[in-house]
Amino acid sequence: MSQLLASIRNLSVRYRTRDDVSYAVDQVSLDIQRGSVYALVGESGSGKTTVGMSLMNLLPDEADILGGEVWFGDKDVLTLNDNELREIRGRRATMIFQDPVAGLNPVIEIGDQVAEVLTTHLDMDKRAGKIAAIEILTQVGLPDPQRVAKSYPFQLSGGMCQRVMIGIATALRPELIIADEPTASLDVTVQAQILHQLDTLRREQGTAILLITHDFGVVSQIADEVGVMYAGHLVETGSVREVLASPVHPYTHGLLAALPRLDAARQDLYALPGNPPDMNEPSRHCAFIPRCRKAMQQCRDVGPPQLTSIPGQSGRSVACYNPVWQE
């Protein structure tokens, strides 16, 4: 029996910039079950990081939440104060940030940063924290962990910083890890190690993972469910196996058809022709129309399609007036 850990309901987020606005996330709903991996995929700018950050109420000041709820257990994190949020952040949920260098403190040695997180959140004194920090740096495959521990973030490569972040996020054994492109700057061997480490946590500790990625290779390796995002909307959801085998949204279909081989090690999404739309006003029609080979007059006459269950296919949904059934 699956058990719900976190749930986003009808989340809409808009960013304010100096002279414009961006409707980054529109009416997104998704459920994350304990011990499962939910992959959020989509092109750059589709709103994945915004959704991930909202789970820990980490959105920056320029983000306005226009509506929705974000439940973690029995708490709506969007309504919690800082003290209540501290109970969740770091303890029950951690995030591996897309920009690993920005996720670390530039003026503190790596070993001290890792140790500090451990002593703050776990029952550990300073000395034990320092020893455990070296162990963690070793576990994430960093060569010469003693030297890394004595380094500052700017002395390490982006990939090395990312491994430090992964070490910190997993060491706390949270109930949920939000992993934002956790392997994007790593080579294939290290990527496999990190995915294995995440998968072990999930199996042994029951950790749930929201995996944000544009790499279908990664999705097929460890995710259970997938949500495909386009221009701030979730356009298709379902089990990874079924969505990869028979995608029904023309966007998902196009992305997967553009991949030469599904089982190849790394597969980027960016092969689809055309570009996503500007998001400086809420979409009045389906945002995918300009790139869609299945668009009909009806799509242009009505509002954006809602994500709805696919008849006869349990657990799958699509937001489209003219889905691809069989071709």
Ligand X SMILES: Nc1ncnc2c1ncn2[C@@H]1O[C@H](COP(=O)(O)OP(=O)(O)OP(=O)(O)O)[C@@H](O)[C@H]1O
Residues in the site for ligand X, rule: CB under 6 A? 15, 17, 22, 24, 42, 44-50, 60, 62, 98, 279
* Strand duo 63-72 + 75-76: pairing: antiparallel
Shortest Cβ contact with Mg ion: which residue? 49
C-alpha triplet 255, 257, 261: angle, nearest 5° = 105
Q: CB of 151: closest distance to ligand X in angstroms?
A: 27
Query: Is there binding between residue 36 and Mg ion (CB under 5 A)?
Result: no
Residues 286, 292, 298, 301, Cα dihedral to 10°: 40
Please answer whether residues 10 and 27 qualify as being in contact, where contact means their C-beta atoms are separated by less than 8 angstroms: yes
Please answer whether residues 145 and 123 qualify as being in contact, where contact means their C-beta atoms are separated by less than 8 angstroms: no
Query: Nearer to Mg ion by C-beta: 40 or 118?
Result: 40
**Cα(50)–Cα(70) distance, integer angstroms:** 12
194 binds, among Mg ion, ligand X, none (CB under 5 to 8 A by kind): none
* Strand duo 4-16 + 63-72: pairing: antiparallel
62 binds, among ligand X, Mg ion, none (CB under 5 to 8 A by kind): ligand X
Query: Nearer to ligand X by C-beta: 60 or 312?
Result: 60
279 binds, among ligand X, Mg ion, none (CB under 5 to 8 A by kind): ligand X
Query: Nearer to Mg ion by C-beta: 136 or 279?
Result: 279
**Cα(135)–Cα(126) distance, integer angstroms:** 14
Q: CB of 200: closest distance to Mg ion in angstroms?
A: 25
**Cα(287)–Cα(210) distance, integer angstroms:** 25
**Cα(85)–Cα(75) distance, integer angstroms:** 10
42 binds, among ligand X, Mg ion, none (CB under 5 to 8 A by kind): ligand X
Query: Nearer to ligand X by C-beta: 129 or 227?
Result: 227
Task: Tally the residues of the chain.
Answer: 327
Q: CB of 256: closest distance to ligand X in angstroms?
A: 18
Residue spans of alpha helices (H) in 122-239? 126-139, 145-149, 158-171, 188-205, 216-222
Q: CB of 168: closest distance to Mg ion in angstroms?
A: 19
Query: Nearer to ligand X by C-beta: 119 or 183?
Result: 183
Please answer whether residues 169 and 185 qualify as being in contact, where contact means their C-beta atoms are separated by less than 8 angstroms: no
Query: Is there binding between residue 267 and Mg ion (CB under 5 A)?
Result: no
15 binds, among Mg ion, ligand X, none (CB under 5 to 8 A by kind): ligand X
Query: Nearer to Mg ion by C-beta: 50 or 170?
Result: 50
In the shown chain, the binding pattern of residues 194 to 233 toward Mg ion, with x for contact by CB under 5 A and - for none, equals ----------------------------------------
* Strand duo 233-239 + 317-318: pairing: antiparallel
What amino acid occupies position 303? G
Query: Nearer to Mg ion by C-beta: 145 or 182?
Result: 182
Query: Token match 């109970």: residue?
Result: 87
Question: Which letter does DSSP use for residue 122 in this model?
Answer: S
Q: CB of 20: closest distance to ligand X in angstroms?
A: 9
Query: Around Cβ 182, how many Cβ atoms within 10 Å?
Result: 28
Query: Is there binding between residue 49 and Mg ion (CB under 5 A)?
Result: yes
Query: Nearer to Mg ion by C-beta: 100 or 145?
Result: 100
Q: How many residues make contact with Mg ion (CB under 5 A)?
A: 2
Residue ranges in contact with Mg ion by CB under 5 A: 49, 98
